[in-house]
Amino acid sequence: MKLYFSNGACSLSPHIALREAGIPFELVRASTKTHQLDDGTDYYTINPSGAVPLLELDNGERLTEGPAIVQYIADLAPASKLAPPNGTFERARLQEALNFITSELHKGFSPLFKPNTPDVYKPIAAANLQKQFALIDAKLAGKQYLFGDTFTVADGYLFTVTNWSKFVALDLSAYKNLAAFMERVAARPHVQAALKAEGLLK
């Protein structure tokens, strides 16, 4: 199994999930700038969109889109409890959280990263993100993770996206529950291993 990733990008989420699930895999770096692998291969020949993550199975099947990938990983290792069983209301709640993170947070950061975003719009994008993070902070009140004491793939995704705030000078210091959550997730051994493998932690 191969995970195509770019350092610190949203592919960190399935990277964390694979380590938490204890599934053997190979990391293959795909630059989001050059769209080439480290060996010079054109990444567009692997994923026509040029985006990460992409999970390639041993049989050659390829899966894209982070929320789909992390659920697939979780289902390969049900004992890890990274996702509730399919067909349960709890699983629908997890999908609800993943959809919120991908649509309201992940995509919300895009204007702050894109060099062609008009400067006049960036404060608006930042304010929109602040509103969504306020909702997340309230949801985390009194909890270790999004769904209580159990770490799920939604937590790995939230950690990945929230981590981008320091690269775009988005001040999230007002959200104490979120700050405690970030410290808690960052201390997990498998998360630390993923961060180190991507050069994000010394």
CATH at residue 14: 3.40.30.10
Q: Does one domain contain both 122 and 32?
A: no
Q: What is the pLDDT of residue 202?
A: 75
* DSSP letter, residue 155: H
- 43 and 121 co-located in one domain: no
Contact 198, 7 (CB under 8 A): yes
> What is the domain-level CATH number for residue 100?
1.20.1050.10
Same domain, 70 and 95: no
Q: Is residue 65 part of a domain?
A: yes
Q: Are residues 70 and 93 in the same domain?
A: no
Within this chain, do residues 36 and 99 fall inside the same structural domain, yes or no?
no
pLDDT for residue 86: 96
Same domain, residue pair 97 and 132: yes
Per-residue pLDDT at 72:
98
- Note whether 57 and 133 are same-domain residues: no
- 183 and 105 both lie in a single domain: yes
Number of domains in the chain: 2
Q: Which residues contact 50 (CB under 8 A, 6 or more apart)?
A: 32, 35, 43, 44
Segments forming the whole domain that contains residue 48: 2-81+190-197
What average pLDDT does the structure give for the chain? 97
Q: With respect to residue 72, please indicate whether it lies within any of the assigned structural domains.
A: yes
34 with 112, same domain?
no
Task: Examine residue 130 and state whether it is found in any structural domain, yes or no.
Answer: yes
- Residue 202 inside a domain? The answer is no
Over the stretch 175-186, which tens digit does the pLDDT of each residue have?
999 999 999 999
Q: Which residues contact 103 (CB under 8 A, 6 or more apart)?
A: none
Rounded CA-CA distance 117/102 in Å is 20
Distance from CA of residue 62 to its chain's centroid? Answer: 18
Q: Do 102 and 76 share a domain, yes or no?
A: no
Together in a domain, 56 and 146: no
In-domain check, residue 125: yes
pLDDT interval class at 142 (50, 70, 90): very high
Instruction: Assess whether 31 and 76 both reside in one domain.
Output: yes
pLDDT, tens digit, 9 for 90 and up, residues 46-80: 999 999 999 999 999 999 999 999 999 999 999 99
Taking residues 26-55, report their average pLDDT.
96
